[in-house]
Amino acid sequence: MLEQRIRDRLTRKPILLMMHTVLGYPSLEASMDLMETLAGSGADVLELQIPFTDPVADGPRIIQANEQAIRNGVTVAGCLELTGAAARSLSVPIVVMTYYNVVYRYGVERFAESLDDMGVEGLLIPDLPPEEGERFLHAVKGKGLSPVLTLSPTTPEERMDRIASLGRGFVYCVARRGVTGCPTRFASETASYLARCRKATGLPLAVGFGVSGREDVAFLEGKAEIAVVGTELLKRLERGGQEGVGAFVRSLVSPADVLQPLKNTGTR
């Protein structure tokens, strides 16, 4: 169960890291190496994005990665195969992120069943409002997966309560309006927003959009359970390759916080 695995890791770390990567970028082969580097350097959860032609929640860097992966000939089937390999070989929980068109074309129930069979623990679809997601929620929960839903600073409190009641695993709190990749000023407004999120749900809170360094992660300690890093990871990969990524992830946590990666035992 995703929520329990997160809480288990929180007994050893003040805040967890969820690292977001686009499958097939820069290649499918490199994606597996990258996931192993992330898990071995201190990542606690991997958020694996299946590429899509119109990733509306993403900024320029992640859009570029989506486009490059698609030009490389990456398919949904290939991404699922790679995701299954990661779920079998790595000890960290796997959350798949993609857009609803991908899931709908594949078949909602079939998609949920495939993820469940391979040991994926959560599914995040940022462009599917919960009001329109009854079929998705039923299929995912029916297979024991956690539907990860999102909140934003502009979400009214009543709707926050509604969304939070439907989610499982953790809630993804978008740090600001807009798309990924833009700088975020983590300040008192962010703290107030996260306090509203905390009031709406007892699930762990994950905060993304603009987390780029140790200072941001430190700000979120005590306010959220998970810091999400995506765009900055791509920048480090482009500048420093796998070694640069490993050094970057380690810089986000103190050495004592890094959990040793274990081979997956096949249990959730």
Tokens coding 215:
């200072």
Q: Is 132 part of the annotated catalytic residue set?
A: no
Tokens coding 160:
């926050």
Closest CA to 143 of 170, 166, 122: 122
Q: Is 58 part of the annotated catalytic residue set?
A: yes
Name the catalytic one among 44, 47, 121, 225: 47
Interatomic CA distance for residues 102 and 194, integer angstroms = 30
Q: What stretch of H or E contains 200?
A: helix 188-200
Q: What stretch of H or E contains 100?
A: helix 100-106
Are residues 203 and 169 in contact, defined by beta-carbon separation less than 8 angstroms? yes
Name the catalytic one among 3, 44, 58, 116: 58
Are residues 2 and 242 in contact, defined by beta-carbon separation less than 8 angstroms? no
Q: Within 10 Å of residue 138's Cβ, how many Cβ atoms?
A: 14
Torsion of CA 213, 56, 163, 138, to 10 degrees: -120
Kindly list the catalytic residues.
47, 58
